[in-house]
Amino acid sequence: MRKSAPDTFDAAVGAMQAKSARPLLEARGLAFAADGQRLIDGIDLAVGAERRLVIMGANGAGKSLLLRLMHGLIKPSDGSVRWQGGPLDRAARNRQAMVFQRSVLLRRSVRANLQFALAVRNVRRGDRAARGVRALEQAHLSDLAHRPARALSGGEQQRLAVIRALACEPDLLFLDEPTASLDPASTEAIEDLINMAHARRVAVVMATHDTGQARRLGDDIAFIHAGRLAEFGPVSHVLDDPQSEPLKAWLDGRLYHEPLGTTT
């Protein structure tokens, strides 16, 4: 039988330490409360260098909030997030990038969106043009370089958002349901970019509802239920042999109701 989520987490961290490779990012006791309700409740997670962690769970489980906490966009109510053993400060966040479910694009051209992102990351002016051209080619957006970014189709906008993040050469890429509402062709194009990131040794943390996508793109999976970590482990083990009742219900397409007397 697979270990419980906390035990598996400790084993994963121990394996990294045994290999003299501390986690790239580590969340310990991560919690967030609002209006008297704990929306994220004591989550422990570790992301290894070059690993791909998939975050799954029902709507409202806390996936998007968890990504924002891990990326440092929101300050936790309790717990901590560490980057390579140190604080998650501005320098650490500059080694990360995040793509949201809805693309956040400037009212500028496709090329200008890329150039602005590179300037913010202090890429030398002389390098920005070449890096931008290369990024557009990789995302198959070269012919649209001068078009207003917000005039692109939904799939094109998301490709721009992903390649803009990768052009900044992060060590860790966060993706919040990057293919939600996209057609199969656009989804495949986004997955190709994520695979390219992995080939470049970029670690990935991605929220998704798609179990097929989790199998294609993930190494490890964290299943979140009601703001808590219900299961954590290799993707195939977790999906093929679920241990927690919330995950079993979710995979069966059933609503899970906490037993009477259970506190959250």
What is the full per-residue pLDDT of the chain (264 aa) written as tens digits? 354 555 555 545 444 444 446 799 999 999 999 988 899 999 999 999 999 999 999 988 999 999 999 999 999 999 999 999 999 999 999 999 999 988 888 889 999 999 999 998 888 888 888 898 999 999 999 999 999 999 999 999 999 999 999 999 999 999 999 999 899 999 999 999 999 999 999 999 999 999 999 999 999 999 999 999 999 999 999 999 999 999 998 898 887 677 655 554
Q: Which of 169, 189, 207 is the last residue of a domain?
A: 169
pLDDT at 125: 84
Q: Are residues 47 and 146 in the same domain?
A: no
List % helix, strand, coil for the chain (3-state, nearest 5): 40, 25, 35
pLDDT at 255: 75
CATH of the domain at 201: 3.40.50.300
Q: How far apart are CA 192 and CA 68, in angstroms?
A: 24
Q: Do residues 164 and 114 touch, judged by C-beta distance below 8 A?
A: yes
How many domains, the chain? 2
Q: Say if residue 36 is exposed, middle or buried (CB neighbours under 10 Å; 0-12, 13-18, 19+).
A: exposed
Range of the domain at 159: 105-169
Q: Are residues 164 and 175 in the same domain?
A: no
Q: Are residues 252 and 191 in the same domain?
A: yes
Q: Are residues 11 and 89 in the same domain?
A: yes
Q: Are residues 164 and 178 in the same domain?
A: no
Interstrand relation of 228-234 and 172-176 (parallel, antiparallel or unpaired)? unpaired
Q: Is residue 27 part of a domain?
A: yes
pTM: 0.88
Q: How far apart are CA 115 and CA 123, in angstroms?
A: 9
Element (H, E) at 238: helix 235-240
Q: Are residues 177 and 51 in the same domain?
A: yes
pLDDT at 21: 65
Q: Are residues 113 and 146 in the same domain?
A: yes
Question: What is the per-residue DSSP string for 69-130?
Answer: HHHTSS--SEEEEEETTEE--HHHHTTEEEE-SS----SSBHHHHHHHHHHHTT--HHHHHH
